[in-house]
Amino acid sequence: MSTSRPTRRGVLKAAAGLSATTALGATGVLASASAAHAAGDGFGLRIVDRNESDARMRYYRFATDAIGWNPGVNVLLPDGYHSGGRRYPVLYLFHGGGTGQDFITFDRMGIRAWTAGKPLIVVMPDGGPAGWYSNPVSSNVGPRNWETFHIAQLLPWVDANFRTYAEYNGRAVSGFSMGGFGALKYAAKYYGHFASVSSHSGPASLRRDAGLVTHWANVSSAAVELGGGTVYGAPLWNEARVSADNPVQRVESYRNKRVFLVAGTSPDPVNWFDTVNETQVLAGQREFKSVLGAAGIPHEGHEVPGGHFVRPDLFRRDLDGIVARLRKA
C-alpha cells in the first residue's frame, strides 16, 4: 500500500526556516520543533494506521467524525527534511474522481521523482471516489464531509505535526480533474489559506451548459459516494452552495494568487467519457480565463493536445512555479 508520513508532533509554526522554536502540540504539550517525534492525534483526527518507515513518504489513516470510514493521507517530505530544522512550504494535492482514485494516486504516477530535490512538502489526502471536495447536501451512508476533513482537520493537523509555514504564502493547492475543481474551490472559499492554485483538467464552471458539471457531481456522488444522496441537492440544487463553489463566480478570490490551468484540446473521439469530460473542462476553463482576464487577474493557462489525463511535463512546470511563488524553505 502506500508509504507514510513524517516526524514531529506539534509545531504551531512560529518563526523562520532554521529556528528550533517550541510550539503547542496536538496533545496540548509543549514540544521542541527540532525533536523527532512521531505524528500525533488532534483536530478531530485519531491515527488508526501509519507507516513512518520511509524517509520521504509517510502514510496515515484516520478515524474522524467528518467521514464515515477511515480516510488516508500520504505526506511526501523533501530530501533532507530529517537532517536539519528548516521549515517548508506545503502543497495540498488532490486526486480525481473514480473508484480507482485515492490518496495513493500521485505516488503511482511518480510524484516522488517529480519532486526530487524540491524544497516542498506535498500532502495527498483521500477525497472519496466522488466526494467533490464538498460537504454534501445529503448522504444515505453516513458522513462524507470532505471539506470539513480537509480544511478544518487535516490542514491544521499537518501544520502541528510537520515543520511547515502555517500562513498564506506557505501553502499551495492543486489537483487533477475532480481534484482540480477542489483546488479551485478551496482557494476561493478559503482565500487566506493558499497563495497558489492549480487545476489540471479540472472544471472551473458549474453553471455553463445548463449546469452540466453540477449535474455530473450529483449523479456521480449519488452513484458511488452517497448512496443516492447528492453533493448539491436534487432535483433542485442548493443555489447558494453552487454559487459559493463556482470558480467563475468567485473571480475576485483569485486576486494576488498564482493561478495555473491546464486543459486538453483533443479528447479521444471514440471515448465518450473522455470527449464529454475534457470538452466541458476546456470550455469551463476558457470561461474562467476570460473572467480572470476581464478582472485584470494574472494567470497561466495551457491548452494542449490530448484529453483527460495528467501531463507530467506540465505538472513538473507547475511544481517549479509553486516553489517559486511560496515562501522559501
Residues that are catalytic = 177, 274, 308
For residue 312, cis peptide bond before it (omega within 30 degrees of 0): no
C-alpha cell at 268: 479521444
CA-wise closest residue to 67 among 129, 3, 10, 158: 129
Dist CA 74 CA 49 (whole Å) = 12
* Direct distance between the N- and C-terminal alpha carbons of the chain, in angstroms, rounded to an integer: 30
Q: What is the three-state SS of 68-107?
A: CCCCEEEEECCCCHHHCCCCECEEEEECCCCCCCCCCHHH
Residue 58: how many other CB atoms lie within 10 Å? 26
State which H helix or E strand residue 108 sits in.
helix 105-109
Dist CA 109 CA 201 (whole Å) = 16
What is the DSSP track for 194-261? -SEEEEES----SSHHHHHHHHHHHHHHHHHTSTT--SS-SSS--HHHHHHH-GGG-GGGGTTSEEEE
